[in-house]
């Protein structure tokens, strides 16, 4: 395989795109487009899926969404109007046109899955062969409810710290950030502290996270959506998505089994794969299984 890097125009900015080309393309292998989480994460962790290119003879397209990573421009700062769904939907639409992706598979992880659901429900695009919803959600309210339920896994003092911060709106305390870090380590992988020198380089590489886009669009933390996406409620619309859909989640995921089941039950053509002992990055904590699963799934619906 070989990697092609390019920048595509969007609005008044440039979007970083990374394309993995197989050395021996398979004639029927439909490209896979990857939508990363956040808002404000980067494509970096998706590099763990690069082997799919040669495994399937398939092109893989990933990009840093506007406002983060290599798609950050200092002129974006102080423009909260950017950080709303229509910006990212427009970005995906524009990139698909620019890259001539008439047919594709679509995989969204975390916020990327939300983006994929909105894209399919609201814009009704053609040419999407299948959908992979990885550790994501269809309802901000259920995500928040499940997050609050899981506060019971924290010591009593940390749980009180969460609830006090929520009541006062003051999250910028050392006590709250320590409790938040503990919570995230329970349900979301932290490769730097947990894997150290054994972590794949793409997981530990320094990156520019889009904190401004995250706080404006989602909120201060995972449990308490308060931004432009706080009203994200698509559970009742999942029946509109009549295409093969693979739901992937971990037993210890921020996407709790109940959140995943809500999607799997409502989607007309869904299959749910639950990864035992995995958290929010199933493809990082059990990469071999994830690659096998994805290869078989995509090949079935090429």
State the burial class of residue 67 (Cβ atoms within 10 Å of its Cβ: 0-12, 13-18, 19+). buried
Is the Cα dihedral 124, 127, 129, 135 positive or negative? negative
Active site residue 249: no
Which of 36, 43, 105, 280 is catalytic? The answer is 280
Burial class (CB in 10 A: 0-12, 13-18, 19+), 230: middle
What is the pLDDT at residue 197? 75
Single out the catalytic residue among 41, 110, 144, 249: 110
Catalytic status, residue 75: no
The residues, ordered by sequence, that sit 6+ positions from 61 with a Cβ below 8 Å of its Cβ are 17, 18, 19, 20, 31, 32, 33, 34, 99, 101, 104
Give the pairing type, strands 32-35 and 104-109. Answer: parallel
1 within 8 A of 58, measured Cβ to Cβ: no
> Which residues is 20 bridged to in the sheet?
3, 60
pLDDT confidence of residue 25: 92
Contact 7, 17 (CB under 8 A): yes
pLDDT of residue 198: 79
Query: Is 280 tagged catalytic?
Result: yes
DSSP assignment, residue 120? I
> Using a CB cutoff of 8 Å and minimum separation of 24, what contacts does 2-7 make?
3/50
| Residue 80 CB coordination number (10 Å) | 13
- The CATH architecture of the domain made up of 2-145+191-300 is 3-Layer(aba) Sandwich (3.40)
Question: Tens digit of pLDDT per residue, the chain (302 long)?
Answer: 999 999 999 999 999 999 999 999 998 999 999 999 999 999 999 999 999 999 999 999 999 999 999 999 999 999 999 999 999 999 999 999 999 999 999 999 999 999 999 999 999 999 999 999 999 999 999 999 999 999 999 999 999 999 999 999 999 999 999 999 999 999 997 765 666 677 899 999 999 999 999 999 999 999 999 999 999 999 999 999 999 999 999 999 999 999 999 999 999 999 999 999 999 999 999 999 999 999 999 999 99
Q: Which tokens hold the place of 200?
A: 């794949």
**Catalytic residue, candidates 56, 64, 220, 253:** 253
């Amino acid at each position: 395989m070989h990697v092609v890097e390019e920048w595509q125009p969007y609005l008044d900015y440039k979007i970083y795109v990374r394309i993995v080309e197989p050395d021996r393309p398979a004639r029927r292998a439909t490209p896979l487009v990857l939508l990363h989480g956040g808002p404000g994460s980067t494509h970096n962790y998706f590099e763990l899926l690069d082997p799919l290119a040669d495994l399937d003879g398939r092109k893989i397209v990933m990009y840093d969404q506007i406002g983060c990573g290599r798609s950050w421009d200092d002129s974006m700062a102080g423009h909260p109007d950017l950080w709303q769904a229509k910006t990212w939907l427009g970005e995906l639409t524009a990139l698909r046109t620019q890259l001539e992706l008439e047919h594709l598979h679509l995989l969204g992880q975390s916020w990327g899955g939300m983006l994929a659901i909105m894209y399919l429900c609201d814009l009704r695009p053609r040419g999407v062969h299948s959908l992979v919803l990885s550790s994501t959600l269809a309802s901000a309210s259920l995500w928040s409810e499940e997050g609050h339920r899981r506060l019971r896994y924290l010591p009593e003092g940390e749980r009180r710290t969460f609830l006090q911060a929520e009541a006062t709106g003051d999250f910028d305390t050392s006590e709250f950030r320590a409790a938040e870090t503990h919570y995230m380590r329970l349900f979301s992988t932290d490769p730097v502290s947990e894997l150290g020198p054994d972590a794949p380089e793409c997981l530990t590489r320094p990156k520019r996270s889009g904190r401004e886009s995250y706080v404006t669009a989602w909120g201060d933390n995972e449990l308490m959506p308060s931004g432009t996406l706080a009203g994200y409620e698509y559970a009742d619309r999942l029946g509109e998505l009549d295409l093969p859909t693979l739901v992937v989640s971990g037993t210890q995921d921020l996407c709790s089994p109940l959140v995943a089941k809500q999607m799997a039950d409502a989607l007309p053509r869904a299959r749910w794969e639950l990864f035992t002992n995995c958290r929010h990055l199933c493809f990082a904590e059990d990469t071999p299984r994830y690659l096998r699963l994805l290869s078989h799934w995509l090949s079935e619906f090429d």
